[in-house]
Amino acid sequence: GENVGLHLPTLSVQEGDNSIINCAYSNSASDYFIWYKQESGKGPQFIIDIRSNMDKRQGQRVTVLLNKTVKHLSLQIAATQPGDSAVYFCAETLTGRRALTFGSGTRLQVQP
């Protein structure tokens, strides 16, 4: 697949545990952030987003935290399931720029 050969950091968790995936973003002016999940052979799938005027946003089983001071994003997945196994990317942009800048990705492996 597209991520084969790329040395991605890997997070290995047990089914049912909570997962935390971290991302450092590059542009302090970025005001919109997105987490994507990419499974083998597929395009990135939207998980959750957050604007820079927030520091936390929750979805179904997922929470995104934004720390603008240190330019850090995290994705928390509650009760991780085998179907959550994938590569996770954070992306940042600035309203009006119309282009996403992606992080390098983290591979999540869920052990049954």
Partner 1 sequence: KAGVTQTPRYLIKTRGQQVTLSCSPISGHRSVSWYQQTPGQGLQFLFEYFSETQRNKGNFPGRFSGRQFSNSRSEMNVSTLELGDSALYLCASSLDDGRGRGYTFGSGTRLTVV
Binding site for partner 1 (CB under 8 A): 2-6, 31-32, 34, 36, 41-46, 49, 89, 91, 93-105
- Is the CB of 34 or the CB of 77 nearer to partner 1? 34
Q: How far is the CB of 15 from partner 1 (least distance, A)?
A: 27
Taking the C-alpha atoms of residue 35 and residue 17, their distance in angstroms, rounded to an integer, is: 20
- Is the CB of 13 or the CB of 102 nearer to partner 1? 102
Taking the C-alpha atoms of residue 65 and residue 58, their distance in angstroms, rounded to an integer, is: 9
- Is the CB of 15 or the CB of 49 nearer to partner 1? 49
Q: How far is the CB of 2 from partner 1 (least distance, A)?
A: 4
Strand partners, 111: 14
- Is the CB of 13 or the CB of 32 nearer to partner 1? 32
Q: How far is the CB of 88 from partner 1 (least distance, A)?
A: 12
Pairing of strands 45-51, 56-58: unpaired
Task: Give CA 59 to chain center in angstroms.
Answer: 13
Pairing of strands 106-111, 86-93: antiparallel
The two tokens of residue 1 are 């697949």
